[in-house]
A and B are shown apart, each in its own frame.
Chain A
């Protein structure tokens, strides 16, 4: 049986975990800055760390794409815009352990030869922003940020930058446009940020958890990290259980753990109920059902079963939940958050919403199921960025697994579910 492996979460129960005193002495940053930057990149490559923001791109390889000796300033931008429905790991990480992120930023910036770094944090989390501001101020006061870090001659400025409420800014190029003071709309790729990112300069954009994992890799070695997880999905990650479970929360475990294992250790589905459907990695990852309880939660295995590991945002819904209602609400979210730049996403999400509303009220027809899958087919792969693709995941997967439930809505001319038992205070 797979067991939990607290690393980033290990100090969260300490009252001062968010202070320098409660965190430690930045010995990993000290060690890294005594190494050649390329050697630091190599350690992260060897560790097998893959991006924890959803896409799973190898982190060390991304760093290696930054051209060196190009005479341009390089930038590190941490994507702390955590907004994918179901995803709730980076926010508690930055609240309880912001110094792991700051130390990871120092190491990452050194490796890619960046002297300016930014944490782009979503604006709706005031206390998390305070904790980041305080951690950065503490690091400056100690000389861990600023000029001549640890006497090595390396300089680094770090700015905490609050966003202003736009899911799309979690998309890395939209984030960069936003950080440049524009509307947050995605850019065409290529060129990728590694070549032309912030201010058209080479830029690494990494997720909070990816960067915060780096100090432990430098401190303990690539083999230590690679010793956890699976062959191609190495290391640990935070799994966020939410919804109809006995003990929702943050569970740090090796990649490859299964939902069955996580539920067994955490008390299972709430009492008297059974699992109906769940997302492995947020609303943009196709839903799974109870047939997927034993799928190893790593990039390859989840992909092989038709979904994506995403951000390990395990939103759990029991048999009291209407899947059509859930999909409608997610669709309304995508329509609300579509930035409007490209037609398939802007128009497609709008129309999906209209048709799903009709379906949920029981006023649709079987033909509407063809219509929504057809619209989804015309968004998927034809949108400017992954937001549009993500919007199609709940549609395709819910029609695949729960077609009968859609049909039931027209048969009875309304939603067959009473929503009250789904609530936190609902009946058993």
Chain B
């Protein structure tokens, strides 16, 4: 596995795939200066809508962390500050929460965040080999991004798709029944801008930031895309239909 590729963050600039920062700059991710007024205004509008859904404002903290991640590609210092201000919390309280959850990233992830399930069943079915070969191919390790900000990798715990093992996720969309070759091809396609489609999901893959926005509770209108169910999800139903098996009549 190669050494981590730390990505520097220029003051206040959105990163996560849009800029190409120099990897040698020793600029800390915490040296940001707050959101630009128009960004702040937009985030506040979204945040207020989200907070309004909950009986108590603090319940909106996880959604707001997803929201700021949709702006920056990770939970930045500005993001922490913003959540704290919106909810009347101290920044320490917000950081204490965000660092507990693996989906909140502490440094910019790639435009395409690629996960490989390495929990037991997927690992045995080939996930370990996929991870080893993919990590070497991409040249980054767990929770690290490529210097061009295109791809980041993560070793995932069980993602509830064991009947599709070995499973990969890109920006939290399912890429089922992978092999080492299909995994490398997938990442190459993403880098080449070829837009591969998830197995069960929308035709067009959204970016990590766009995905984070949906997670914050703001829909993107793509729910109608993709199949109702596919592959193994339908095996039992197929067998039942072939044999004429049904639940008893009421």
Contact = CB atoms under 8 A, between A and B. Distances in A.
Interface of A: 3-7, 9-19, 22, 73, 82-88, 90-92, 95-97, 116, 122-127, 129-131, 133-134, 137, 157, 159-167, 178-184, 199, 219-221, 224, 227-228, 236, 238-243, 247-253, 265-266, 283, 313, 315, 317, 321, 325-326, 329-330, 333, 336-337, 339, 419-420, 422-426
A160 B219 CA distance: 11
Nearest to B205: A126
Contact of B173 (A126, A133, A227, A251): A126
A61 to B, nearest CB: 24
Nearest to B174: A127
B237 A10 contact: yes
B109 interface: no
B166 A161 contact: no
B162 to A, nearest CB: 4
B162 A313 contact: yes
Interface string B237-250: 11110010111101
A181 B61 contact: yes
B96 A183 contact: yes
Interface string B28-64: 0000000000000000000000000111101111110
Interface stretch (B5-13, B19-27, B123-131, B185-193): B123-131
Nearest to B238: A13
B237 A12 contact: yes
A53 to B, nearest CB: 13
B64 to A, nearest CB: 9
Given A18-B228, A127-B198, A165-B103, A326 B125 contact: no
Nearest to B115: A124
Contact of A220 (B55, B164, B171, B250): B250
B118, B201, B216: residue with the most chain A Cβ atoms closer than 10 Å: B201
Interface in B193-230: 198, 200-202, 211, 214-217, 219-220, 222-229
B235 A248 contact: yes
Contacts, number: 290
Interface size classification for chain B:
35 or more
Interface in B141-175: 156-166, 169, 171-174
B1 interface: no
B59 A329 contact: no
B92 interface: no
Interface string B58-72: 111111011000000
B134 to A, nearest CB: 14
Nearest to B215: A162
A124 B156 contact: yes
B4 interface: no
B250 A219 contact: yes
A32 B121 CA distance: 41
A127 B87 contact: no
A180 B58 contact: yes
Nearest to A157: B53
Contacts of B215: 123, 126, 129, 162, 164
Given A12-B228, A180-B58, A243-B165, 5 more contacts: A19-B224, A95-B233, A183-B100, A329-B118, A424-B179
A13 B237 CA distance: 8
A266 B245 CA distance: 14
A69 B201 CA distance: 45
B221 to A, nearest CB: 9
A164 B59 contact: no
B159 to A, nearest CB: 6
A96 B248 contact: no
Given A15-B228, A116-B55, A127-B198, A6 B160 contact: no
Contact of A86 (B61, B121, B229): B121
A130 B162 contact: no
Given A159-B53, A166-B101, A249-B163, A126 B120 contact: no
A126 B214 contact: yes
B129 A423 contact: yes
B126 A164 contact: no
Given A127-B173, A181-B60, A184-B100, A419 B128 contact: yes
A221 B247 CA distance: 13
